[in-house]
Amino acid sequence: MENSVLELNKLPVVMVSSGEALMALMDIIGSAKESLLRILVQGDFSEYPDDQTMHCTARLAEMLSQFSETLQAKPEEATEFLMDEIKILDECKCVGLPNFIPRSAFLAILSQHVDGIHTKPVKFITEIWDYVEVVLSSVLTKYTENLPQIQSSIKRAGRNLISKTKEQAVNRVTEIVEMEKLTDYTCNPDYMTLWTQKTELQQSFINAVLYDEEKHENYSLAGFGDVKISHLRKYHAHLLQQAFDMKMKITSYWTIVLRRIVDNLALYLQFSVKNLVNCWFQKEIVAEMVDTRGGGGIERMLAESPSMASKREKLKNSIKLLKESKDVVAAIVDQNSGCGDR
Task: Dump pLDDT digits (tens) for 315-324.
Answer: 566 766 667 6
How far is the first Cα of the chain from the last one, in angstroms, to the nearest whole number? 34
Q: Check: pTM over 0.75? Answer yes or no.
A: yes
Does residue 237 sit within a domain? yes
**Measured distance CA(32)–CA(212) in Å, rounded:** 72
pLDDT at 312: 57
* Residue whose C-alpha is closest to residue 88's, from 97, 96, 79: 79
Task: Dump pLDDT digits (tens) for 229-274.
Answer: 999 999 999 999 999 999 999 999 999 999 999 999 999 999 999 9
Does residue 160 sit within a domain? yes
Does residue 116 sit within a domain? yes
Domain count, the chain: 1
Residue 295 scores a pLDDT above 60: no
Domain extent at residue 47: 2-304
CATH no. for residue 201?
Answer: 1.20.120.1240
Does residue 287 sit within a domain? yes
Task: Dump pLDDT digits (tens) for 136-156.
Answer: 999 999 998 878 888 888 999
pLDDT at 291: 73
Task: Dump pLDDT digits (tens) for 144-203.
Answer: 887 888 888 899 999 999 999 999 999 999 999 999 999 999 999 999 999 999 999 999
Bridge partners of 220, per DSSP, are: 226
Residue 8 scores a pLDDT above 50: no
Residue 54 scores a pLDDT above 80: yes
Q: Which amino acid is at 294?
A: G
Does residue 219 sit within a domain? yes
Exposure of 262 in the CB half-sphere (CA atoms within 13 A): 18
Residue 152's Cα: distance from chain center in Å?
A: 24
